[in-house]
Amino acid sequence: MDLGLSGQVAAVFGAGRGIGEAIAAAFAAEGASLVAIDRDPRVAEVAGRLPATGDGARALGIVADVTDHAAVRRAADSVRDHFGRCEHVVFAVAIGSGKFGFPFWNLEPEDWDRVLRVNLVGAVAVAQAFAPLLVESKDGSMLFLASVAGQIGSQTDPPYSASKAGLINFTQCAAKDLAAHGVRVNALCPGMVQTPLNRSTWDAWNRRQPEESRQAYEEWAAAKIKQLVPLNRWQQPEDIAAMAVFLAGRQGRNITGQTVNVDGGYVMHW
């Protein structure tokens, strides 16, 4: 299937690892010129591994933290200077509180601050910095990686869950604002994916358990999959990436303001 992304420019925040890296690779495989952005300097290695486009252009790697709004604006300027345009922006950045959040009053208000600054305010900063470039393209897309936790009120990590719910709502706000300019905005919700963030969720839970109740990550994860995922299997970063490029491509030209789940059936809206 030709998604029509060849020759277009995509900027992927969170491209240094996990789902973001898989999304960057998927855009590159479709022939898009890539800007890989992450706070981790290893993003330069990720960019170096991505294939060149048909005209020989190499991916651009940029180190930037989404909580540094000036750095995000500089990243947008770098994209403009390097490529002259940008058709697609993906926000695949997220952190958890690092604590097991049940019940929520075991957390302190301070446990919420950085999670909201990264997962929600960081997304807004990226959207504000890159919106002018997308408006100029008049035919692009913006995608936010949310989570099924933003739809079900997960008790595991309330700050994370609430930040993703806010991101889903902001997606709709941005979709309405940008629709007149031909730019589509959607949220993509992974389910159970084996990433460092998923493992940190297990670790926060496990540390709170008495010795006799603790489980290895593999044991805990297998039980979660069996309990929560009707298809009874992990979702892979490549599954999320496949939907990301579909939504960006020409087949997704009438999809905007939507929350799309790639979750093995975890969340079903009746």
Residue 61 three-state SS: strand
Question: What's the burial of 80, exposed, middle or buried (CB within 10 Å: 0-12/13-18/19+)?
Answer: middle
Taken as a whole, the chain contains a residue count of 270
One DSSP character per residue, 150-204 reads HHHT-SS-HHHHHHHHHHHHHHHHHHHHHHTTT-EEEEEEE-SB-SHHHHHHHHH
Q: Cα 244 from chain centroid?
A: 9
CA 99 to chain centre: 21
Question: Is 160 a known active-site residue?
Answer: yes
Residues 168/186, Cβ–Cβ less than 8 Å: no
- Which listed residue (160, 170, 202, 266) is catalytic? 160
What is the maximum span of the chain, computed from C-alpha positions, in angstroms?
59
The arrangement of strands across the sheet holding 33-38 comes to: 60-63, 33-38, 9-13, 88-91, 141-145, 184-190, 259-262
| Cis? peptide before 159, omega within 30° of 0 | no
Residue 175's CB: how many other CB atoms inside 10 A? 19
DSSP-assigned beta bridge partners for residue 62: 37
Active-site residues: which are they? 160
